[in-house]
Structure 1
Amino acid sequence: MNLGGQLGSNLNFPSIIELDLSNNHIEGPIPFTLPPTLRSLSLSANQLNGSIPDALSLLTQLSNLDLSNNNLSGQLPSSTGSLSSLTTLHLQNNQLSGTLYVLQDLPLQDLNIENNLFSGPIPPKLLTIPNFSKNGNPFNTTIIPSPPAVAPAPVAIGSSPQESPWKVAHGPSALTAPVPASTRKSVIAKSVIWIAGAGLLVFIILGVFLLMLRCIKRRPEKKNANKLDVGVFVGPLNKPTRSDSDVEAANQEEKGKFEVPNRSTDFIPKVQEEQDIYVKVVSATSEGNNGRESINTGGGSKLSSLQPPPQHFLPTSPGEKVIINPAITTQVTKRQVMSNSIRVYTVALLQQYTNSFSQENCIGEGTLGPVYRAELPGGKLLAVRKLDATASMGQSHEQFLQLVSSISKIQHANIARLVGYCAEHSQRLLVYEYCSNGTLHDTLHGYDNHCIKLPWNARIQVALGAARALEYLHENFQPPIVHRNFRSANVLLNDNLEVCISDCGLGPLLSSGSTGQLSGRLLTAYGYSAPEFESGSYTQQSDVFSFGVVMLELLTGRKSYEKSLPRGEQFLVRWAVPQLHDIDALSKMVDPCLKGTYPMKSLSRFADIVSSCIQREPEFRPAMSEIVQDLLRIK
């Protein structure tokens, strides 16, 4: 039908069995959200590129797969071996590479891999397939020759076939042809040269090894002295009780679970300076105690049983000591573990946990893409944001990893924590901790079956939690972060109705290209944007304005924009501003759900904070730290 464009990632057909899109002009990658009910899939004769996604392994009923005549590249994913129903596989005329061992145990009856870049030997099991087409690949079908053998003496060359395995290994010609004397002398000479060379090489290696041992024995004192120079704590620590092998095994296990697979240190989440101190202490002091206890600062490693002494002293300059609070160091090490516990998920796993990103698991439609509830096998819940292609358009893989690294450093009790990510097959997903009570928007404006009754004091605590989160982003985090999309739909509530702000650190995506234009239009349309945003300016004070709008929602129970209301009341800010300083009008605009159960003085102070946040001029709005203090004084 001459169809063009891309397939996208929304092929959520619940019951489809056969899907044939062959002979079109479809571009882009193969989507990873394919219907798990498929038995026959044909995407041949298109312009698809990228690699074959791992998520194909979830198509357990698939018996016919045709991806021929495209521009696919890369190796066959190992998960292909789990397609236990696959009988027909056509991959011809692509640029696929690697070996074919992953296919050897499939019940294939028809396999066509012609004109690709497959290499290595062909598995013998594939040669028994009735219809097997393999021409046009650089297969290595030759037998690897045996290494040159060293003849111990010329008599072995002249001995009988039964007594000479060397002759048998070199084929029948060696058994029948006479060996000239000159050849025997040449072989002996070469053998002597090889033996002499090998002996000399062994001698050199032994010499270097002994020299290294000698150097190592001389350097421990200097090594420890250098470590103390960088400013480690001086003080005894308990001796490690685990053996070297136990420590190594534990580190390797944890590393395999959580390490971010990125070889460039520029994109690995880094630990802040105060977090590094405690790790250095344990390293240096444990070596001083002849122990080899190590603390793995990468992916979610568990700290050892070593405990800090009551006080630690940090040498800064001769004659000067700085006392470090042990409670702070304990908190630092916990934060350090959190900041690096970022797991890398595969698309196939996330698809499994979200039931193929089904609509019933969709818990939000954000500016950057939908959010899904994911349930792990143990019952733990996570929230998965699937970034739209437009949100990350123009952003390289390295830039995305840098973004993940930056978000992973954001650690605050009132900010939703990033626990993992996925960057596979042109798909980018962010995995966060799950908040069971949904968003503040749904709590205030949702249906009766979802609505949670928020008393006045609880609303003050919600405002305080959100203010503390923005204070941390604006004034405590380095470099400072502007949220750019603060609204009640991004204020999450956990089991205890504690606030967790979502979408923190995603400003680079919200400010770029068409996504930036869309997020700006949405902020304006929903009544959260500050006046200066119309001129393209967005700063920390713009976040303060949006925070003031959310406080108005808490105060009035109204949405920031409600089209069904009379024209003069549709935008909450425009309607509320004239009434905030009129005590009688203020009483009438309070959320009816509160039923008058609030102190009037507390309500008045709350309204004063709102008024200061939604000032038209940004310089007249307070900093978030001031707002936090004002909220703490409300009783």
Structure 2
Amino acid sequence: MNHKRMVEAKITVNLRLVLLLMFCTELHAALPFFPTFTNSEDVYAVNKLYSALGSPSLSGWTALGGDPCYELWQGVQCTNNRITAIMLSGANLEGKLQDDSLANFTSLLTLDLSNNSIGGSIPDKLPSTLQIFSLAGNQFGGTIPSSISYLTSISDLSLSGNLLTGELPDAFQSLAQLVSLKLSANKLSGHLPPSMRYLTSLTTMHVQNNELYGTLEVLQTLPLKDLNIANNQFSGFIPENLLKIPNLQADGNQLNMTISPSPEQPPATISPSPEQPLAIDGPVQQNAPPSPVYHKRKTMDVKAIAYVVAIGSSIIIAIAILLVTICIPTWKVKRNASLVKVESSTLESTEGLDSANNTTQSTQNNQEAGKEVEEHKVNLKDLQSISPDRKPPNSDETQTTQKRLNYTSSVKSFSVAILQQYTNSFSEENLIRECRFGKFYLGKDEDRKLYIVLKMEERKSKIPLSSFLRIAEDVSRIQHRNIAELVGYCAEYGQRLLVYKYYSQTTLNDIIHSRDHSRRTLLFSWISRIRVALEAAKALEYLHGGGQYPIVHQQFEPCNILIDDELRVCVSDCGLASFLPFISELQQSHCPRALSYNAPEVNESGNWSVKSDVYSFGVVLLELFTGREPYDSSRPRAERHLASWASGQLHDIDALVKMVDPALGGRFPIRSLSRVADIVSRCIQEEPEFRPSMSEVVQDLIQALDASNSIL
């Protein structure tokens, strides 16, 4: 019996030792996943990058866990607990980056992997926070991914000295912060993409030693100081502005280094107007400039053709003058009749006639007629009595207008006369609200269909025709149920008007701060406020990631959030920020209330980005659940700025409860309130890289809504 007990005791001890050993093993395995100083998402991201590079010999680096910021890993720099820079130039790195090797960094500003032997393709998924990105001097192949369009904060992009092929992606629309672009010594081919014209901060561009061809017109308005295009296949004249660049290197091309002919000089052959904007599907094709060396026979042929063209042109002009003399009276009678009476059955044809006839004045004549236009209405008598010595409507401006925006039948070209009829001559009774771009008027056609017409004030801005049409084209492509829909435009007689589908005249600002009790009852419940916030967030989410490239709203405020009687939401002014360069600085609001919606980096240096929109959304959400103004001078100094006052109390539940709009009568779930406060806290972070994306905000609001479903 004693022997049996001794055996059982030994078995028990051994079993306990085995269990203890297993526990220690599990504990050791779990240690890498214990909380570290470095943000866990960044730890995961840097582990993944290390594995993709083949686990090279880098001090401190590991493929599993670790604490890069606290342990000072080689080449890693941090701000607080976030990895903001990885600089491993010339570190003998190899391997291949996978498509998601860089996707998980949350706050990475600088990534320098230059002068190594890394191969494969450039990942399609890149951290949107990047400001400096260098993969120069490696062995990357394939094409440059179009996803670079999401690097809206990028200032320095260097991919020189690789094996990149194919055409440059037409993906530079949103890279307005880009200062330096270096793509030299690759095998890139094709034209310079049209979207390069948006690189308004670019001072350095190196594309030498590639196989690029075509002309250089797309670069002529950029602020370049260092341009190297040597050893490519560019041809034609170099634009005059480029010849003034301090450091220009263009050897090894087929370029004519003389100043190109002025676009205002009449060409020898028929060619597009110099003001004609780019077509939808690419740049307008023009004949290449002639070679400076001519064969004698070719010269004689050209002269002969010139004589024939000159004689033929004289005959055509004579016939045209005769026809104009005969037809002008008839045309004027028809013009007057069409302006006096527009019948329902002929509305579409009248719009077409006005668009095809009235807007076809030459640019000079449009400017003269535009001087006769008053601020709030156009004198129809002046328009009807255009002097006979002016050309009948048949100008480049309207032809350009029609060609530019006839890609879809859903966007109409309205005449000034038609819009006057719709808006009662832009009367004060039809005025809905003002914005920094002009004034919104209520319009109604003869079928009682409603429109919202934005009349841009001529004294506030001077928007060139080509720029207006390009921006209108871009805005018309923004299609989302929570975003105001552009249905038409007008560019007659120097006017600049946009026509929107009617949604509502009531804004979120009207409801939150209205003294009218009936209006405020629209947002009587907590759950209705969350729903409004969610719908508005979906609009921003679409702008930031639902199209070809991110669109920054730049003025996301309650006055731009329209709400109907069923609490459906529509965000207005989307895409209109592109007009800001043409607006006088004096017209842009600098009042404390407007500035309260701006992110710190915007007020300090004017750096707009999708993350500055996120900050604005956070302020609006805070305003929505507190019912307070973003800036209130009547309050004590410490409480005047809503965001700064609330930021330190968003994680104090007692303070939160006191902060909620009294109009709610205390009817709100604490759990949902806490979730909303957390969203606000993350949105109004001082540093943009610490703010969430709008996609994350949408998901968080859905969870807050779920937590509210028991409270109505």
| Coarse TM-score class (shorter-chain normalised) | 0.3 to 0.5
Task: Output the TM-score relative to the length of structure 1.
Answer: 0.48
Task: Output the TM-score relative to the length of structure 2.
Answer: 0.43
Indicate the structure (1 or 2) with the bigger Cα radius of gyration. 1
Which fold has the larger relative contact order, with Cα–Cα distance below 8 Å and residues 6 or more apart in sequence? 1
